[in-house]
Structure 1
Amino acid sequence: WQSDGEDFEAFRVYKGRREGEAIFRCYKAYRKHLQKYIDWLNETELSQNDERLFPMMSRGMIPAKISRANISTLKNLLKKHDLPFINTSQLRNTRINWLLRKTSDLNLTAEQMGHTKEVLLRDYLRPHHQRASSEIIEFHNLIDPTTLAPGPGLCVDSHQPEPIVELAENAPKPDCISPEGCLFCEKHRDVMSSEYCWKLASHLQLKRLETNLYKPSEHNHIHPGNLVIDRIKLKLKAISDGSEIRNTWVEDAQSSIRSGRYHPTWDGYIRLLEVMV
């Protein structure tokens, strides 16, 4: 036994298909079991008739050195008991793909498995749905330009506000600071989710309470909050008209507001205004 870091090198042998030397390793945790088995082979003198690790013997104890392995008996036994037969190539394939997923290192996996990268990719690599899902998510995260906006929803170009066409004079101006300003920005994007509808509906309730406290002056009879209310209503209606499930989101959000359950973003502000009103 020759130590090689965490493993033991059992022996080296030339492999024609690889056209080079291959090293057969044994995990340290396996050594005592493998050594016990080798000692048993020596004690029973089975190793004298056949030098292979798993010697094949005929009924007459004549060594079958040139015989091919025949595992039909094992297959029939497993089939009789409705058990799947998993051969060594399947186990090796599983181990290679598991190691590649764990390390994400093609060079390391090829070295450990005694193959070139080309052979590994051509003959052993198998698709894996979890890895594929994570790669798809990573891809979208890299190319998705949206960022969190100060207000509800997302922003596709942070710190580059652009007012919507025909912006009302008293409407909040987009400035990447005010949550209300985001609602009147061309860079703002809605999010198709029940949580977003709840957040919009809570924002709507906040602005209603604000306008109830407003006392109009002689020069300004329209509170900017009324424009925000109209804008949020317009967004909720557009979402509701989109599909049946989206309509359910809006209805559930409105029901939550009526029952006094507000989105955490606006809950504290709403509770304070309710006391003042």
Structure 2
Amino acid sequence: MEAELFMLVAQTGLNLTQARNLDLGDFFYVGHLDGYQVKEYKKRRGGVVLFEIFKDYKPHFERYLGWRRHLFPDSERLFPFVGIGGSRPDSRCDGGRLRAICRALDLRFVCPRLLRNTRVNWLLRTTADPDLTAEMAQHAKQTMLAAYERPSLQRAMAEVVRFWSEFDPHLAKTQPVAPGGCNGIPKNITHIPKAAPKPNCMRPSGCLWCENHRDVDSPDYIWALATFKHLKTIELGRTSSLQCDADIPPAKLAIDRIQAKLHWFEESTAARQEWVREALARIAEGYFHPSMRDEIRELEGTAWMR
């Protein structure tokens, strides 16, 4: 019976005195959130909410009620503790039997206060809503946060992810001029070729040698890279060697840079290898990434392109 009492405390968030002094009534259940409100039927008022339980606990609670009614048919208490003299003062229910059993089994005893504290922190971590948690725990928000809230690794990790998703400089700019991601601040890589386009957030080729450019681990990005390579190949074919003062035309440098990226993806994992193969097959079929279709159509002078 002490175990059942403690289990009810963990389920409902009631304090030990409240749970211990509950009377056995005509209980019925009303669905509420992810569980039930347990009410006691009253003819005039239609029912008063006594406590709330999670849905998985209801069958266990019903089994306990049947067991308890069979053993103590004349008692009005939900937890009718009895002592040597036939009665037991309410103030003496301290979980002594459970403590002794846990000590004999070398198990840690979890007191009702810690059970309630664990439940409140679990709700706070799960809902991420202090107001809702305070309401479910039947506390004022300030009281709950001051008396019950404990540091949580899970909440800290979630807050860090939310923070960096909003303030990471590399995610600040969502529409870079070239495939990939950046923060909108051009910066040359350490060993940039002399003839390579300098990063300036105006020319897509410059992004290839920008320190703040970021590759994206997705098949769409691979497709965009392959399309970009095809675009630079067209430009290279239309560039006269007499028009280029450098030994290596900038378009050729861009092609080599893109090819190196595609090669890295292809050699990294089997899934990425399949992405690269699919992207190159699309390019061979004339199926280009939407972000560069119009530009390729203009360069090739193609009247129709799927």
**TM-score, with length taken from structure 1:** 0.57
CA offsets, 1:101-139, max 9 Å, x none?
A: 333332232222221112211222223322321221111
Q: Distance in 1 between matches of 2:274 and 2:52?
A: 61
**Inter-CA distance 99–220: structure 2 relative to 1 (3 Å threshold):** same
- Amino acid paired to 1:155: C
**% same residue:** 28
Aligned to 2:21: none
- Verify: 1:267 aligned to 2:280, yes or no: yes
- Verify: 1:88 aligned to 2:88, yes or no: no
- Verify: 1:228 aligned to 2:233, yes or no: no
- Verify: 1:69 aligned to 2:82, yes or no: no
Q: Which runs of 5+ in 1 are unaligned?
A: 12-21, 237-248
Contact 1:172 1:181 in 2 (8 A): yes
Contact 1:146 1:154 in 2 (8 A): yes
**TM-score, with length taken from structure 2:** 0.52
- Verify: 1:182 aligned to 2:204, yes or no: no
CA offsets, 1:72-118, max 9 Å, x none?
A: 33223223234343333333223222323333332232222221112
CA offsets, 1:237-275, max 9 Å, x none?
A: xxxxxxxxxxxx99966967xxx98846963478689xx
Q: Distance in 2 between matches of 1:134 and 1:34?
A: 38
Q: Distance in 2 between matches of 1:65 and 1:265?
A: 77
Equivalent pairs, count: 231
Q: Distance in 2 between matches of 1:74 and 1:133?
A: 36
Contact 1:9 1:23 in 2 (8 A): yes
Aligned to 2:70: 40
Q: Report the secondary structure of 2:136's partner residue.
A: helix
Q: Report the secondary structure of 2:103's partner residue.
A: helix
Q: Distance in 2 between matches of 1:101 and 1:67?
A: 33
Q: Report the secondary structure of 2:115's partner residue.
A: helix
**Inter-CA distance 267–134: structure 2 relative to 1 (3 Å threshold):** farther
- Verify: 1:109 aligned to 2:133, yes or no: yes
Aligned-pair RMSD on alpha carbons?
A: 5.2
Contact 2:125 2:154 in 1 (8 A): no
Q: Distance in 2 between matches of 1:262 and 1:36?
A: 61
- Amino acid paired to 2:254: V
Q: Report the secondary structure of 1:111's partner residue.
A: helix
Contact 1:8 1:26 in 2 (8 A): yes
Q: Which runs of 5+ in 2 are unaligned?
A: 1-25, 42-47, 287-306
Aligned to 2:80: 55
- Verify: 1:100 aligned to 2:124, yes or no: yes
- Aligned-pair CA distance for 1:141: 1.0
Contact 1:214 1:223 in 2 (8 A): no
- Amino acid paired to 2:82: M
- Amino acid paired to 1:64: R
Q: Report the secondary structure of 1:125's partner residue.
A: coil
